[in-house]
A and B are shown apart, each in its own frame.
Chain A
Amino acid sequence: MAGPAAPLPAANIDTDIIMPKRYLKGVDRAGLREGVFHDLRFGAAGDPDPTFILNQPAWADAAFLVVGPNFGCGSSREHAVWGLLQLGVRALIGTNFAGIFFDNCARNGLVALALDLDQIGPLLALVSDPARNQLTIDLAAQTVTTAVGALPFRIDPLLKTMLLEGLDSVATTLKHQSEIHAFESSYLEANPWLLKDARTTRRQT
C-alpha cells in the first residue's frame, strides 16, 4: 500500500468525533463518507473548514492517517471504521488504539499499526511536510517506508494473517462448529444453573 499520509496528532480522538451520531441512523453501511470527521471537516454552515488537514490539497486524498494516542476511544460504533474506509483511508499509524475500535479495524481490513512513541513524533513531523508525506506500508515485511527510511513495526501474527488473507472469520470459525458444540455441551453440564434455555432463568414478576 502506498499513498499520502496526513497528521492528526491530537490525543483521544473518539468515535463520536470520527462518526457523529446523526450518521448512525441507517440499517446499512451506506453514506458514511459524508459523516466521517464531519464536525472537523465542515463549519456550521456546511462549508469545508480550510484549517482542517484533510481539506488541504496535499492531504485531501490521504490513504493513511498518522494519529495521536488512544485514537478511536469511546463508543463501539463500527460506523467509524466503515466511514474511514469510505473516505479512502487504508491504514492508521499511531501508538495505541482503543480496544473495540482496534478490533473493528481488524474485522474490516483497515490496518491499524502501533509504533513506538519515539517513532511517531518524527513520523508526524515528516508527513506534515507536503513534499515528504508519501508512505508505503508493507504488511508482509512489517515495514513503513517513509521519505527518509524504513520503520519496522510489530503486529500480532494472527491479525497479520487475517489482514493479508482477508478471511471471512465467521466461515473460518464455523469450520470448528462441532468443537463449539462439544464445548457448549460440557460447559452447560458443568454449570447447570445457566440452563440450556437462558430465557427460563428469569423470575417472572
Chain B
Amino acid sequence: MQRPKTLYDKIVDAHCVRSLDSAGRQLLLYVDRTVLNEYTSPQAFTALRDARRGVWRPDAALAVVDHVNPTASPRVRAMADPGGQTQTDYFAENCRDFGIELYDILHPLQGIEHVVMTETGRVMPGTVIAAGDSHTTTYGALGCLGFGIGTSDIEHYLATQTVIYRRLDTLAVDVQGALGPGVTPKDVVMALIRQIGAAGATGFAVEFRGPAIEAMSVEGRMTICNMAVECGARGAIVAPDERVFDYLQPKIDLGPALWERAVADWRGLRSDPDAPFDQHAVIEGAAIEPMVTWGTSPDQALPITAAVPDPASETDPDLRRDLERSLSYMGLRPGMRLTDIPIDRAFIGSCTNARIEDLRSAAEVVRGRRIAAGVRGMVVPGSSAVKRQAELEGLDRVFAEAGFEWRQSGCSMCLAMNDDVLAPGERCASSTNRNFEGRQGVGGRTHLMSPAMVAAAALSGRLADSRAIAVGG
C-alpha cells in the first residue's frame, strides 16, 4: 500500500522533473505558469538577452502592469514618474521580443496580477505557479501551489520552465466551527498570524481545512491564502471542491468532455485521510473577532475590542524593545483602546482584499452614510474587470456618495510604488497585507483590517467595530 500523502506533496511529486539531492529535499520543479510584473522582471529579461537565451514557453506567461501605474482617472499610458515609465516601456519591449501576452495600463483586463490570473481562469487546481511577487500564494484557494520567487528565479523559470525547489514541511491549519456574524476571511488569517507569529509558517506549506474553510467562498479563500505569506508560508492550499469548479467553469473554455475529465481529476486533489503533517494548528472560528493591527508587523494584531499592549508587561528584553519601537513608530500609548485610535486615511484595495465580494462588503457598511470629516477615503478595485462589475452593481456610486474616491485598478497604496502614498505621520485604515514601517509611505502608519472594517473606520474617523454599524443604513 502507498504511503498516505498530503495534497502539497502530491502536487510537488507530480511536478518533480528530477531530484537534485539524495534526500529528495531539493528538486527541479516543473512550473505550469507564471505572471510577470514590470518591477521584478526587467533584470531577468536582461539576463536572458545577455546570455542569448529564449523563453521556454511564452504561452505559459502573462505580463501585467500593476505595481507602478497611477490609479487616477482617466487612464493614460504616459507616466509622470520617469522610473515607472522606463519600467513599463522595457516591460512592453520584453513582452514583444519574447512573445509574451501583455495587459498594459490601457488594456481592459489590466489589474493586480493575482486578481487578473484568477479571474481570467489561468489558475487551475493541481498546477504550480511561481511568480515574482510574494503574494502568489493566493492561488492556493484554487488548489494550485503558488509561491513567490525573486528575479534570478524568474530568469531560471523563463529559460527552463522549472525552478530549483526545496520541499517544504507541511502545516495543517484547521478552522473549526463557523465564523460569527460580521467576521470575514481577513479576520481568520489575521487571527492565524497573531497566533503563530510572523515566522510561524516559515519553511512550511499550509493546508487550510475545516468547516469554516469549506463554507467560505473561493474569493474568501484567496484572501486567506494570499496573506498566509505574512506568517512565512511559501505555499497555502485549500483542497479544491465544488465551489472551486463552479468558480472556474465560466472562466475556462475546454469543451464539455475535457472539462469533465479535468473535474474528475481535480476531485482527487486532497490530502489522504492519514496523511502526515509536520505540524498542526487549530483555530476556533466562533472565537474570532474582527481584527486590526496596532504595530509594524502583521502578527502585532488584536481583536478590535482590545487595547494597545503595554511593553512593560513583556518580560523578554528583546521582545520589549521591539514592542517599544513599534509603538513609538505608530504613535500609540500603551493601554489605549483600539477604538480610540483616530485615522487620517482609509484605503480599500490590494490583491488581498479588492475583489468584488470585498467591495460589496465595504459598500454595505457605507451605503447611505458619509465618511468622517477630515478622513480621505480611497477605493482601488483589484482589477479593471472588478471595477466594471462594481459599476454595474452601482457600488461606485455608493462609495462616491459616501465620500470615497473611486479609482482605477493597481497595487496602489498597498506598497505605494506609484503616487498613492501616505504623508509622514498619516494614519491609515487599510485592507492591505503589510503594516511594515514605511510600507505605505515614509513615516506612514498602517492598520491592517478587513474591507468592512476599513469602511467602519472611515465612517467613524477612528478604528471601529464594523459589527456595531447596522448594514444598509
Contact = CB atoms under 8 A, between A and B. Distances in A.
A156 B199 CA distance: 20
Interface stretch (A6-14, A50-58, A128-136, A141-149): A6-14
Contacts of B164: 169, 173
Interface in B411-450: 415-417, 424, 434, 436-439, 442
A107 B17 CA distance: 20
A71 B259 CA distance: 44
Contacts of A194: 32, 124, 127
Nearest to B132: A76
21 contacts: A24-B39, A25-B81, A26-B86, A27-B42, A29-B43, A76-B132, A76-B150, A77-B39, A78-B43, A81-B150, A96-B202, A100-B150, A103-B149, A158-B26, A169-B156, A170-B156, A176-B18, A184-B30, A191-B126, A193-B258, A203-B253
A24 B318 contact: no
Interface in A22-79: 24-29, 39, 44, 68-70, 73-78
Given A100-B234, A201-B254, A76 B28 contact: no
Given A170-B51, A180-B17, A9 B318 contact: yes
A197 B442 CA distance: 44
A71 B371 CA distance: 38
A28 B199 contact: no
A170 B155 contact: yes
A122 interface: no
Interface of B: 14-15, 17-18, 20-21, 25-26, 28, 30, 32-33, 39-40, 42-43, 46, 51, 53, 56-57, 59-60, 68, 81, 83-84, 86-87, 90, 101, 120-122, 124, 126-127, 132-134, 147-153, 155-156, 159-162, 164, 166, 198-199, 202-203, 232, 234, 250-254, 258-259, 261-262, 265, 297, 318-319, 321-322, 325, 415-417, 424, 434, 436-439, 442
A179 B17 contact: yes
A99 interface: yes
Interface in A153-193: 156-158, 169-170, 173-174, 176-177, 179-180, 183-184, 187, 191-193
B148 A100 contact: yes
A140 B166 CA distance: 21
Interface in A90-114: 96-100, 103-104, 107-108
A17 B438 contact: yes
A154 to B, nearest CB: 13
A192 B166 CA distance: 27
Contacts of B124: 193-194, 201
Interface size class of A (residues with CB under 8 A): 35 or more
A179 B18 CA distance: 8
Contacts of B251: 202-203
B121 A203 contact: yes
Most B CB contacts (10 A, CB to CB) among A24, A75, A170, A199 go to A170
Which 8 A/B pairs are nearest by Cβ-Cβ distance? A25-B83, A107-B152, A193-B262, A78-B150, A27-B42, A104-B150, A70-B199, A203-B253
A110 to B, nearest CB: 11
Interface of A: 9-12, 14, 16-17, 20-21, 24-29, 39, 44, 68-70, 73-78, 81, 96-100, 103-104, 107-108, 156-158, 169-170, 173-174, 176-177, 179-180, 183-184, 187, 191-204
Nearest to B23: A157
A76 B134 CA distance: 5
Contact of A199 (B101, B325, B417, B439): B101
A108 B46 CA distance: 16
Contact of A203 (B39, B151, B252): B252
A77 B40 CA distance: 7
Given A11-B318, A204-B253, A191 B265 contact: yes
B442 A76 contact: no
Contact of A158 (B21, B416, B436): B21
Contact of A183 (B17, B33, B156, B417): B17
B17 A174 contact: no
Contacts of B148: 76, 100
A16 B153 contact: no
A27 B17 CA distance: 32
Nearest to A187: B30
Most B CB contacts (10 A, CB to CB) among A12, A21, A99, A192 go to A99
A12 to B, nearest CB: 5
B116 to A, nearest CB: 11
A193 B259 contact: yes
A11 to B, nearest CB: 5
Contact of A16 (B40, B321, B438): B438
Nearest to B127: A194
